[in-house]
Amino acid sequence: MTRVSRRNLFAGAGGGLALGAAAGFGAAHAVGDDTTAARDAVDLTRSYDFYTGDHQAGIATPPQRHCIFMTFDMVDGVSAADLQVLLARWSAAIAQLMAGEPVGQVEPVRSGAVGTDTGEALDLAPASLTVTLGLGPGLFDDRFGLASKRPKLLEDLPALPSDQLRPGTTGGDLALQACADDPQVAYHAIRDLARMGKGVVDTGWTVMGFGRASAGAGQSTPRNLMGFKDGTRNIEETADLDEHVWIDDDPAWAGGTYWVVRKIQMNIETWDADDVADQQQVFGRTKVEGAPLSGRVEHDEPDFSATKDGAPVIPPTSHVALAAPENNGGTRILRRGYNYTDGINELAQLDAGLLFVGFCNDPASFIKLQTRLGTSDRLNEYISHIGSALFVAPPAPRRGHYLGEALFG
Amino acid sequence: MLQPRRSAALLSVSALAVVALAGCGDDANEGGKDEGSAGGATQVAITAVSGDDGDECQVDTTSVGAGPVTFTVANEDAPGITEVELLSGARIVAEKENVVPGLPEVTFTVTLGGGDYEIYCPSAVEEKIPFTVTGDAAPAPTGGPAKLLADGATDYAAYVQTQVDGMVVGVQALSDAVDSGDLAAAQQAYAEARPFYEKVESDIEGFLLPDADPTENSGNLDYLIDMRASSLDPAVGWSGFHAVERDLFGRQRITDRTRQYAVDLVTNVTALADVAKGLTFRAEDLANGAAGLLEEVQSGKISGEEEQFSHLDILDFAGNVEGAEQAFEALRPGLQEIDPDRVATISDRFDEVNQLLERYKDPSALGGYRPYTAALRKSDAPEMSRRVQALAEALAGLAEKVATA
């Protein structure tokens, strides 16, 4: 009948569509190597498989350009069976969406019928959409009889130094993250999944991320809204992912990961009025090249012992120094953040920041890093952690199965 | 707390939620005696699978003898398929939703007379698979869902009539109280008259004075009776309930102008009652009407826009919900035969909305509910909106289902 495949519409284009802002980004700055644009080219026809039976997409996947994050809370009185049906329906729908297919009829045949899919992504390519599901600690309380299924390390994050959390932007029983190279594709996914959950889950809080603020394998390091490259030393290698990211000692959750989300508001107006030399001291890197202050080019290893006139070249309270693995006993987490804006705040200032997204196989890794950063990071003068949540991202299902199925075995 | 949900049975792996559906009415049972029923129901397996060209529904047999037939529906690995229906022509004989990969199989049993049917799998490569039942055709149904739905629509028409009649009496009482000059009595009469309108407003939307131009508000009864400041048409000016409301609650004064508003309201409501006389409804009108009333809750009441001077929005909210529930209850017996799961879901969600409304009941308050102040809106509107939208989504597909019964 009215089966329209977004993927099919673009099938003739092969892999040659190199669209998006990437080209302009590389060319305009004329920094780094000439291949920046090519490496960051967007192929809107690309799609990822949902049923890998391995890790969920949207974690180690090279970050797409846009990402929408939304939390959900179970409605009072719903049962474990309602949760089970929702996870199964969400899984099937996510498989469709990632393949560039609608989640049902847009224009139903029968009169009086409402559309199953809302339709706004119909003529759009898959755009590398990934939808990632997270389960929050609250799901394992006494409401659904799932306490015995709780992943070993899943607990609410403790209060951390410099936390300025706001009541409306913390926690959540469930989380979805829809990332794509086309923001409309990402929003459509979240919208239709939220709609599917009506009556079983209530929406919690949401952040609409634009512009990736982390690099994945093969991508050049993007800039956050402070204008700096952040995450130059992100995890890329499979061996590092295995060591630091994927859960391997908790059978039901093996291949999954713990997922930290922090909404970090940046006082960008104040930041912009700070002189760039000071900004570089705050970050510990140069602004244009992104080189550590001890080095010359971006990927030079920072030398934290280097001194000039008796003082460290990279200030110990700079962001780079505090976050570096060598200063944290080798602790690393996979970062996959996005820039966001909420418009203009009640003080008439531009309201924007970083949707920090981190993945690790032990939440203690994040807690350790953030404790250090929250205590003495010079950046704290310009940022506020206003939102926070921890989830477990279960492993991806094989065909014929669904996300979180281990909860109901 | 809420009662446990119906779907708890799904958790057990072997759960077979057998639902007996009188697909063709009682008479059909006799037609099916000679085949199938002797050794129990004929078994038919429907399996959704992912094929090379897309998701498909496979049926292990496409021809059975008349009599009871048990369909077992499973989704092996086809993410695009989420529901399966059995159709007789355009009529839905039975359906199962939430047929998704990973969930246990579900079954339903129907008694089928001879004839041509189809198994409908929306979004499958081949959506409709012919399914033949041999043997005696079922006699023309004398009962069944279509008849039950039609009966429900007739009952509902009587309910609408009762509300419209009550509205005429209510606005006359309001006019009398306004005439008396007693502000408190007039406010009380206003609160008593409002629910009649709110319970049925989606059924009388768009009613015009005889020979009126549908593009002009001057002859639009809904407008003349229920217009708000936000929808004020300068060419027509203030009239109706909310003009009276503004004087009684906003200005707290009764003037000659207030008296005139009230008299005009009686005139227009009486005209509405004349137009509404003998209204008949189809089942899908009830379903659409219920959905329309919930839209009214979302757009007018939870926003606090409806009763901006009296703050009786929760009273109106309750009226809209009651009207929607009446429409649903009228459809319920017929719908129960087509899709009992949906009935249970909608019923649960009405319960949740009604429990939410319970919180605001206050016998000492005008209209029986707490005034919907800006502070209350700020703290409670999100929860109200969520519960109402959950119900609205459950009701959204209802018109389609009952129209094809």
| pLDDT digit string, tens, across residues B259-292 | 999 999 999 999 999 988 888 898 988 998 999 9
Residue A248 has pLDDT above 90, yes or no: yes
Judge: B80–A92 Cβ closer than 8 Å, yes or no: yes
How many Å from the N-terminal Cα to the C-terminal Cα in chain B?
35
| A220 Cβ contact list (under 8 Å, min separation 6) | A26, A32, A36, A39, A40
Residues of B in contact with A195 (CB under 8 A): 393
Sign of the dihedral through C-alpha B203, B208, B210, B214: negative
Residues of A in contact with B399 (CB under 8 A): 112-113
For B2, which of A77, A112, A203 is closest by C-beta distance?
Answer: A77
Judge: A112–B287 Cβ closer than 8 Å, yes or no: yes
pLDDT bracket for residue B28 (50, 70, 90): very low
DSSP string, B343-397: HHHHHHHHHHHHHHHHTTB-TTSGGGB----HHHHHHHHHHHHHHHHHHHHHHHT
Residue B295 has pLDDT above 80, yes or no: yes
Which CATH superfamily hosts domain B144-403? M75 peptidase, HXXE motif (1.20.1420.20)
Residue B381's CB is within 10 A of a number of other CB atoms, namely 15
Judge: A79–B82 Cβ closer than 8 Å, yes or no: no
* Mean pLDDT (whole number) for A6-29: 40
For A199, which of B75, B288, B349 is closest by C-beta distance?
Answer: B349
Judge: A112–B352 Cβ closer than 8 Å, yes or no: no
Residue B29 has pLDDT above 50, yes or no: no
pLDDT of residue A110: 81
pLDDT of residue A134: 98
| B170 Cβ contact list (under 8 Å, min separation 6) | B189, B192, B193, B194, B196
CA distance linking residue B311 with residue A297, whole number of Å: 65
Judge: A405–B102 Cβ closer than 8 Å, yes or no: yes
Higher confidence at residue A159 or residue B17? A159
- For B168, phi then psi, to 5°, come to -60, -45
pLDDT of residue A326: 93
Domain ranges of chain A: 2-9+50-104+116-408
Judge: B102–A95 Cβ closer than 8 Å, yes or no: no
Helix (H, G, I), strand (E, B) or coil at A364: helix
* Mean pLDDT (whole number) for A51-57: 97
- Closest alpha carbon to B293 in B190, B170, B156: B156
pLDDT of residue B39: 53
Higher confidence at residue B361 or residue B97? B361
pLDDT of residue B144: 81
Structure tokens at B168: 């005429």
> Minimal Cα–Cα distance from B347 to chain A, Å?
12
Residues of B in contact with A117 (CB under 8 A): none
Residue B193 has pLDDT above 90, yes or no: yes
Residues of B in contact with A95 (CB under 8 A): 79
* Mean pLDDT (whole number) for B244-256: 96
User: Which of B84, B123, B125, B335 is the mutation pick for testing A, counting most A CBs within 10 A?
Assistant: B123
Chain A interface with B: residues with Cβ < 8 Å = 1, 3, 50-51, 75-82, 84-85, 88-89, 91-93, 95-96, 101, 104-105, 108, 110-114, 116, 195, 198-199, 202-203, 397, 399-402, 405, 408
For B11, which of A1, A84, A202 is closest by C-beta distance?
Answer: A84
What tens digit of pLDDT does each residue of B313-336 get? 999 999 999 999 999 999 999 999
**Burial class of residue B374 in the structure, from the number of CB atoms within 10 Å of its CB (0-12 exposed, 13-18 middle, 19+ buried):** exposed
Q: How far is CA B27 from the centre of its chain?
A: 30
- For B333, phi then psi, to 5°, come to -60, -40
pLDDT of residue B35: 39
For B123, which of A75, A81, A104 is closest by C-beta distance?
Answer: A104
pLDDT of residue A2: 40
* Mean pLDDT (whole number) for B86-103: 89
Residue B26 has pLDDT above 70, yes or no: no
pLDDT of residue B344: 94
Judge: B284–A81 Cβ closer than 8 Å, yes or no: no
The strand pairing partners of B249, in sequence order, are none
What percent of chain A is modeled with pLDDT above 70?
A: 91
Judge: A88–B102 Cβ closer than 8 Å, yes or no: yes
Report the complex ipTM. Answer: 0.84
Residues of A in contact with B393 (CB under 8 A): 195, 198-199
The strand pairing partners of B114, in sequence order, are B137
Residue B198 has pLDDT above 60, yes or no: yes
* Mean pLDDT (whole number) for A235-257: 96
Judge: A399–B349 Cβ closer than 8 Å, yes or no: no
- For A75, phi then psi, to 5°, come to -70, 140
Average pLDDT of chain A to the nearest whole number: 90
Q: Lay out the sheet containing B63-65: strands in order across.
A: B63-65, B128-134, B115-120, B84-88, B91-96
Nearest chain B residue (CA) to A86? B98
CA distance linking residue B322 with residue B337, whole number of Å: 23
pLDDT of residue B16: 34
- Closest alpha carbon to B200 in B99, B257, B269, B302: B269
A-B CB pairs within 8 A amount to: 121
Residue A37 has pLDDT above 90, yes or no: no
Judge: A92–B9 Cβ closer than 8 Å, yes or no: no
Residues of B in contact with A405 (CB under 8 A): 102
* Mean pLDDT (whole number) for A113-136: 96
pLDDT of residue A155: 97
What tens digit of pLDDT does each residue of A339-366 get? 999 999 999 999 999 999 999 999 999 9
Judge: A112–B10 Cβ closer than 8 Å, yes or no: no
Judge: B397–A114 Cβ closer than 8 Å, yes or no: yes
Residues of B in contact with A76 (CB under 8 A): 1-2
Residue A3 has pLDDT above 90, yes or no: no
Residue A284 has pLDDT above 90, yes or no: yes
Least confident of A28-42, A57-71, A123-137, A239-253: A28-42
> Minimal Cα–Cα distance from A264 to chain B, Å?
25
Strands, E, within B91-249: which ranges?
91-96, 106-112, 115-120, 128-134
User: Which of B6, B103, B281 is the mutation pick for testing A, counting most A CBs within 10 A?
Assistant: B103
User: Which of B5, B84, B331, B387 is the mutation pick for testing A, counting most A CBs within 10 A?
Assistant: B5
Nearest chain A residue (CA) to B283? A112
* Mean pLDDT (whole number) for A385-407: 97
Helices (H), A197-332: 238-244, 268-272, 276-283, 319-323
- Closest alpha carbon to A60 in A402, A401, A393: A393
Residue A106's alpha-carbon distances to A4, A110, B284, in angstroms, are 9, 12, 20
User: Which of B14, B84, B100, B331 is the mutation pick for testing A, counting most A CBs within 10 A?
Assistant: B100
Domain ranges of chain B: 24-134, 144-403
pLDDT of residue B90: 80
- Closest alpha carbon to A314 in A338, A345, A283: A283
Nearest chain A residue (CA) to B386? A202
For A111, which of B3, B386, B403 is closest by C-beta distance?
Answer: B403
Residue B41 has pLDDT above 60, yes or no: yes
Nearest chain B residue (CA) to A202? B386
Give pTM, 2 decimals.
Answer: 0.83
Residue A154 has pLDDT above 70, yes or no: yes
> Minimal Cα–Cα distance from B180 to chain A, Å?
48
CA distance linking residue A90 with residue A394, whole number of Å: 14
Residues B107, B16 contacting (CB under 8 angstroms) = yes
Residues of A in contact with B9 (CB under 8 A): 81
Residues of A in contact with B335 (CB under 8 A): none
| B2 Cβ contact list (under 8 Å, min separation 6) | A76, A77, A78, B348, B351, B352, B355
pLDDT of residue A31: 44
* Mean pLDDT (whole number) for A164-192: 97
Nearest chain A residue (CA) to B402? A112
Average pLDDT of chain B to the nearest whole number: 86
Least confident of B67-76, B99-108, B135-144, B393-402: B135-144
User: Which of A71, A75, A133 is the mutation pick for testing B, counting most B CBs within 10 A?
Assistant: A75
pLDDT bracket for residue A30 (50, 70, 90): very low
pLDDT bracket for residue B136 (50, 70, 90): confident
> Minimal Cα–Cα distance from B12 to chain A, Å?
9
pLDDT bracket for residue B25 (50, 70, 90): very low
Residue A93's alpha-carbon distances to A128, B18, B20, B98, B128, in angstroms, are 16, 26, 30, 12, 21
- Give the fold, CATH level 3, of B24-134: Immunoglobulin-like (2.60.40)
* Mean pLDDT (whole number) for A201-214: 94
Residues B338, B405 contacting (CB under 8 angstroms) = yes
pLDDT of residue A307: 95
> Minimal Cα–Cα distance from A175 to chain B, Å?
18
What percent of chain A is modeled with pLDDT above 90?
A: 83
**Burial class of residue A290 in the structure, from the number of CB atoms within 10 Å of its CB (0-12 exposed, 13-18 middle, 19+ buried):** buried
* Mean pLDDT (whole number) for A23-51: 67
> Minimal Cα–Cα distance from A87 to chain B, Å?
10
Judge: A199–B391 Cβ closer than 8 Å, yes or no: yes
Judge: A3–B123 Cβ closer than 8 Å, yes or no: yes
Residue A10 has pLDDT above 50, yes or no: no
Judge: B101–A401 Cβ closer than 8 Å, yes or no: yes
Residue A206 has pLDDT above 70, yes or no: yes
